[in-house]
Structure formats: C-alpha cells, structure tokens
Structure 1
Amino acid sequence: MEQKAEEELVLFFPPVQATLSSLKMLDVGKWPIFSLCSEAELQLVRQACVFGSASNELLYTTVNDEIFVLGTNCCGCLGLGDVQSTIEPRRLDSLTGKKIACLSYGSGPHIVLATTEGEVFTWGHNAYSQLGNGTTNAGLVPYHISTNLSNKQVIEVACGSYHSLVLTSDGEVFAWGYNNSGQVGSGSTANQPIPRRVTGCLQNKVVVNIACGQMCSMAVVNTGEVFVWGYNGNGQLGLGSSGNQPTPCRVAALQGIRVQRVACGYAHTLVLTDEGQVYAWGANSYGQLGTGNKSNQSYPTPVVVEKDRIIEIAACHSAHTSAAKTQGGHVYMWGQCRGQSVTLPHLTHFSSTDDVFACFATPAVTWRLLSVEPDDHLTVAESLKREFDNPNTADLKFLVDGKYIYVHKVLLKIRCEHFRSSLEDNEDDIVEMSEFSYPVYRAFLEYLYTDSISLSPEEAVGLLDLATFYRENRLKKLCQQTIKQGICEENAIALLSAAVKYEAQDLEEFCFRFCINHLTVVTQTSGFAEMDHDLLKNFISKASRVGAFKN
C-alpha cells in the first residue's frame, strides 16, 4: 500500500481512546445499538463501549463480571472466534471473570483491553501487527500479551488507527503496530510486531497519561510536559511544523504550562491544564479547535469557554468533534455537529460529554469506556419517598377510617398551602379526618412526598374533590389524567357529572366527547336515566349544537 493511499484510508478510520468514566446512571438509549438489548439485559450493564466505523459493535460488562458482545463483528472484533454478526448479546467466555480497567479500539477495528490486574488482551484486525502478537493474522479471540509486559501492570491503553499504546504503573509506555509515520516511536518507519518500550526523551520520564491520534501518539509526564511523535501532516503534534516525528519530542510551546490530560481526535489534539484551561492544535476544517475559524494550527492555541474551570476534555475518532465539561457541570461542544461546523464552544443541554458523541457525532460511538458505579446514595426526592408513612421518623399522624397515616409536619407545610396555615399553631400529633376516605387521603399525602398519584380511576374522582377543596391545581390535573384512563360507556355520565361539579374543564370536555362518540349506548345507561335535570338540559343543548341528534 502506498503512503498516500494509507493516509487516505486512515483519514476515514481514525482512532479513539476509551478511558474509564464514572456515571451514576448510564442512559444507553442514546446509542441506537442498545435497542438490540432487552430491558432486563440493560439493567445488568455496568460498563459499555460502542465502537466500529458505523457504531455497529457493542461490548458491555454485567454486574456478574461477565462480558457480552454484539454487532457486525467486522474482522472478528467481537472476539467470539468467528466473523459472524449477531443481533443478540453473546457472552465472551474467554474473558469471563476478568474485570475491565480500560479499553480502547482502532479503525480495523482492533481492541486493546486491560484488566484490573494489569493484564492486556487484544483481538480483531491485525494487518499491521496492531495486536502485538508477532503476526499479521486476524485475532478472532482475545490474546493475552505477555511479551515484554509479563512483569508489568498496565493501567491505561490507547489505540491509533492501526497502532497501540499501553501505560504501565511505573510510568513506562509500550507501543506496537503500524509505524509508517513513526507513531510507534522507535525511530524508524518499520511496523512493530510486539510491544516495545518507547524511550528516547521518555527514557527517564514518568508518564501519567497517553492518547493516540490516527497515526500519532501523545504522552503526558508527571511534570506536566507533553511529548508527541508520529504523523504531523495537519500540525497535530503541536510542534509548529508539519513534519513527522519518529521519536518522542516535547511540545516546547507549552513551556511553563502543566498539562494534566491529553485527548486526540480525528486529526486534532486537546490538552487540559492543571488550572482548568484547554489548548488545541491540529486540523480545524470543521472548527474542532474552537478558535472561531477553520484554519489549522500547528502551535497550541487556547480554547475559551466562558469563565468556568474545565475539568474534562473529550475527542472522538469518528468525527471532527470536541467537547469539554466545566466545574459547574456545563458541557460544551465544538467542531462537527451532524454535518454542521461549530467553530466556537457551544453550551449544550447535556450533563456529560458522552452525550455529545452519542447525539451529535456520526457514527454514534462512545469516546471512552462508560461505567455505572453501584451507588446506594439516595437523592432528596428518593429519601422523601422512602419516609412517607414511616412511623419511626414521623411527628404527625392522620386518623382516617380508623387507620393511621404517618407524616412529617415540616414537609406538609412546605408542600401544601392548606397545611401551612392549618398546622401553624397545631401542637397535636394526631389529626382526625372524616371528610375523605382513607384511600383518597392517603393518596393525597403520598402525592406530597412523591409528586405522583397511584389510585384507580374510580377513586381518583374522590381525590379530584380533595384537590379542588385544597386548591391543589397540579394534583387536579393528575387526577383528570387518571380518570380519563378509566372512562367507559357505563361510567361516562358519572364522570361527566364529577367534572362539572369540581370545575375540571379539561375532564368535562373529554367526557362530553366520549359520550357523543358513544351516544346510543350512553343514553341507555342507568347513569343517564338518573342524570341531574340541569346537567341533562345542558348536555342535550350542547349535544345538539355539535349535531349529535342529526339523522
């Protein structure tokens, strides 16, 4: 393959770095491939990575430390031992019991995975030895890399289009695979079939973070310096030139700036400093540098995101997109957004950078390994729900139909204007209630804790009466919605009467329309025969106006 052809190929299949993210809730619905999983399967997901040139492959782990895969299975990238696609999750038995610490993938695609014990496994596309097993044969099952890594604990992995990097716990970087532009850092352009330590300027440095562009590599050391090597045709190495670099070279333009993390995109680079500032350089055809224009930059250029400190940067291989999250929780994106160019950081409505790539990038892959951490922390709303009718913490109880309902005075005062006044000077710990039934009053008090109601449509009429009496307009709307769900020909007139009585206009109109649509049967019910005279008169008049009695 000629150099030009190789560069054009990786232009469309650049790399992605998939580092671990920690999320309270994993809203996987934003990635279409998850629609192939059942609700029961999704409940068990603890980690997930969507990858492939069309986001057609998925790997996820469960609460039982089992690994499942599904999708197109291009080049055997699902690791199942074959190249058969699957629309149903299949367990990756060879890795059962292994806990994933980090994962990354390239363009073939090939997979590089590190376990929590520091072991490295690779599989998938291998035409350029990017699996590090000494061959160029496709890896249909996970291969445990031991050569030069047997006594090392790997803590981070990164894939370029067709090359791989790993970072060990003692700060060393090992690389292998495609090396046409020096991206393996060996000083030559010969492909590297097995892991080889990257030395040169990194020889005595302690590396703390790594990343790969399509054909370049990056490392951040513990002093905050950034070292780069590999392809530089778009200035993505930040060295002020466009010449390739076969061995690690320090980004001199960042002198005096302490970098914490680096992220590589399609052909551009982002770094995050210890002061929460972002710098970018490289390709900028879609505004992915966030500079307000589309001119490439070969030197680090600051990205201005309001005044808030940035705590996270993100770039994804499949699109010219960048994202960042601020300390205040705001998520910004710039670059390619569903084909459009956004040249300055744009504030999104998302709460995570992951959503940027799920919703704006094409294909909808994950830019890092997503993770759901088991969490027994309750939100304020969840805590309040749990405390409803709890006699152990309540300071007030209502006696209704001979049954107690346990509540908290302060919450009732906060949530309801009626209680704000009626409980103001009330020092009693028991309040008797006879105006409403037990199910109705319990549902009302529970609503104050949960903001929802759980009553049958028939009982909801009584709650509608209460909501009208207490002037709880939102509750009144919820009651009407519930009542609508229970309407039938037998009770339509009764519900219409209730709607008129409690001035529930939306429900009244709904019931009236239902009666008109089922007029013949409704007029033969006992409810119609017993209808209040004034209501009957108004019903007939209104029905006539809409032409209900025309032949």
Structure 2
Amino acid sequence: MEPQLFAWGANSYGQLGLGHKEDVLVPQALKDVSCKCRDITSIAGGGGHSAVTTGTGQLFVCGGNKDGQLGLNHTEDVLHFTLCTALSGFCVKQVACGWDFTIILVGSGLVLSCGSNSFGQLGLPQISGPCLIPQKIESLKEKVVSVAAGLRHALAATDRGVVLQWGTGMASRARRASQGKALPLFLTAKEPCEVAGLEGVKVKTVAAGSYHSVSLTDEGHLYVWGSNKHGQLVSRDIFLAEPKKIDTQCFSHEKIGAVWSGWTHLVAQTEAGTVLTWGREDLGQLGRRAGHQSPESAQALGLCCNTPASVPCLNGASQIACGSEHNLAIVGK
C-alpha cells in the first residue's frame, strides 16, 4: 500500500498543508503533496508551521510565515507543502520548529535557521529583524548531530557530545526563580553558548519544551534544566538553572534510548522498549488515568505529575512524537 501523509487539528495558518485555513477534526489525507509520501523521512510542527524532510535531503514547508519561518524569502502564509529552494545545495538531516522560527541540521553538520529572532532564537546576533532565508549559524564551529527548538530557545548537540543553547526564551522565568543570583550565560545567550554542568558526559540527543531543555547521554542518562512548573524535570525546584541528572531509579535503573518533549511533558523510551511519561497531565497528555499520583505528592508540587511512570500499551513503540500537549505513537508492525 502506498504510504500517505495525513494532517488534522488547528489550521488557522494553513499549517496542515491542505490548501485552506479551516480546522480539521479528523485526519485527512493530503492529495497534492509535491514530494512523494514514500520519500518522507520525518515530520515536524511548530507554533503554526509544519515541515517534512525527505530521504534525498529536501525540506518541504507550509503554514504561518509572518516572520519568514518557512525560509521561502517572503512572509505570506503557505497553504501547501512547498520546497524550500534556498536549501538546494544542502542535504537536510533534521528540522526543528519553534514557535515562530525553524532550525535546520544538514548532512555536513552545519546548522541553519530562519524566522523570528526577537529572542535571539536564531543564534544569529547580527540579524535584528525576521530572517526570511535560512542562514548558517557561523559561530557553531563543530559538527552538530542533533537539534531541538523550544518556544523561543534552541539547542544543538555536537559530535563531541557538547550541548549548546541560545535564545532568551527561558530567561524571564530563570530571573524570577534566581532571586537576584547571576544566571548561567547560556540562558541569556543570543548565539550558541555551551551549557554549563554537562562536563564529563557525552550527549547524543537534545529535546526542548516550551521553557525547558533535555539531553540524553550516550550512557542512557537524562539531564534536564529550565522550568519545572509541571513537574516535568522530576524535581521539587520550580526552576533548574543548570542541568540535573534524573535519578536512574525513576526508570527502574534501565538506560534511556530515546526522549521526546511536549511543551510541558516528557516521554522517554528505555533501551528495553518501556515507555514512560511525566509532567503536565491535565489534558491527558501522559496517557495515564488521572489521579495516578498520591494526593500528598501532587500537592507538594502544585498540580504536577513529577514521577515517570510506564504506559504499558506503548511498550515497544517504533516511533513516538510529541506535540505541544498531545502525542502520537506507532506500536507493532
């Protein structure tokens, strides 16, 4: 059976690629996708825009574009998936969509960005206004292997295992929580800045929520920092200014093989295939029954579900994706 691309949900910017701006309540197949669906290797969504990458390294984009986040050299919304021709000389490996910007990792390990730079989220301090064509982040000198985008901050992991962060999206929450203490430089940087506190570990994958960041090391450990308003960092602090390792006891001492982040919740899969979720749960985004936590521990953190717990029906999932407050998974063949 020929694979198909389906889209559904909010569509006020044309981000579903269906040729209109009406919300779509049930998954609808895209009929006229300019790339063949069987060639699509990954899909990503941002605040109001979408992106797909193909096996040949092309990037197709659609949706909201008022800050040039589609990289098409204009600011009109785009209702169908359209090839980003500005990247024709590159082989796109990964794309991460933030609220109003896009981070693009290409095969050579270079990173490019486009869209709004009002919080320094493009990593291009020389650009003040919106950036309509993807620009290389020249200050990223090392080869990058993984990128992630939060609401207004971004992350990259290099092939040496170092993590860099830029964009000031987390800074106001950090200042409120720091009570006058100096903030680590990477929380206020407008170009890639090494994340302090990860010395001695090698990170292979990064993920980001709206106001938090996550790193997965090659030894299968998770480090988290940023806002903990919903218990997503498995801590009793409201904000972690520096990375903190999540105790392996939380995962029954199993190594983590993959991690994904929504805006305020996290999903991890162990190397053995167990899937665990934690963080905000008011909209069912953890996939568990409400009230899983004891009232005492829930009260201690406000309205959080700060203990990773497994979701057995997802064990062995071959693919998982997090939206802002929802998830998708492929389980079984």
Counterpart CA distance in 2 for 1:96 and 1:361 is: 23
**Is this contact kept in 2: 1:76–1:82, CA < 8 A?**
yes
Paired amino acid for 1:221: T
Equivalent position SS for 1:254: coil
Q: TM-score, normalised by structure 1?
A: 0.50
CA drift at 1:294? 3.8
Q: TM-score, normalised by structure 2?
A: 0.81
- Whether 1:330 aligns to 2:274 is yes
- Whether 1:215 aligns to 2:152 is yes
Q: What is the 5 A alignment of 1:399-548?
A: none
Paired amino acid for 2:261: A
User: Cα distance 1:83–1:351, how it changes in 2: closer, same or farther (>3 A)?
Assistant: closer
Paired amino acid for 1:104: A
Other-structure match for 2:132: 193
Other-structure match for 1:91: 30
**Is this contact kept in 1: 2:6–2:27, CA < 8 A?**
no
* RMSD across aligned positions (CA): 2.8
Counterpart CA distance in 2 for 1:94 and 1:69 is: 12
1:444-477 C-alpha deviation (Å, 9 max, x unpaired): xxxxxxxxxxxxxxxxxxxxxxxxxxxxxxxxxx
Q: Percent identity?
A: 28
Other-structure match for 1:80: 18
Paired amino acid for 1:308: E
Counterpart CA distance in 2 for 1:334 and 1:199 is: 36
Q: What is the 5 A alignment of 1:91-240?
A: 91-95=30-34, 97-98=36-37, 99-107=39-47, 109-147=48-86, 149-188=87-126, 189-200=128-139, 202-203=140-141, 205-231=142-168, 232-233=170-171, 234-235=173-174, 240=184
**Is this contact kept in 1: 2:104–2:113, CA < 8 A?**
yes
* Equivalent pairs, count: 298
Paired amino acid for 2:166: W
User: Cα distance 1:263–1:96, how it changes in 2: closer, same or farther (>3 A)?
Assistant: closer
Other-structure match for 1:489: none
CA drift at 1:363? 4.0
Paired amino acid for 2:207: A
Counterpart CA distance in 2 for 1:143 and 1:259 is: 33
Counterpart CA distance in 1 for 2:232 and 2:254 is: 20
**Any unmatched runs of 5+ in structure 2?**
176-182, 284-302
CA drift at 1:371? 5.7
- The structure number with the bigger radius of gyration is 1
**Is this contact kept in 1: 2:144–2:158, CA < 8 A?**
yes
Counterpart CA distance in 2 for 1:243 and 1:269 is: 11
**Is this contact kept in 2: 1:224–1:258, CA < 8 A?**
yes
| Bigger proportion of residues as helix | 1
Counterpart CA distance in 1 for 2:17 and 2:324 is: 24
- Whether 1:250 aligns to 2:194 is yes
Counterpart CA distance in 2 for 1:272 and 1:282 is: 15
Q: What is the 5 A alignment of 1:304-319?
A: 304-306=247-249, 307-317=253-263
User: Cα distance 1:333–1:66, how it changes in 2: closer, same or farther (>3 A)?
Assistant: closer
**Is this contact kept in 2: 1:324–1:353, CA < 8 A?**
no
Other-structure match for 2:2: 64
**Is this contact kept in 1: 2:201–2:217, CA < 8 A?**
yes
**Is this contact kept in 2: 1:155–1:168, CA < 8 A?**
yes
Counterpart CA distance in 2 for 1:230 and 1:136 is: 22
1:46-96 C-alpha deviation (Å, 9 max, x unpaired): xxxxxxxxxxxxxxxxx4144343445321112232224455724331335
Equivalent position SS for 1:69: strand
**Is this contact kept in 1: 2:152–2:210, CA < 8 A?**
no
**Is this contact kept in 1: 2:167–2:187, CA < 8 A?**
no
Counterpart CA distance in 1 for 2:311 and 2:10 is: 32
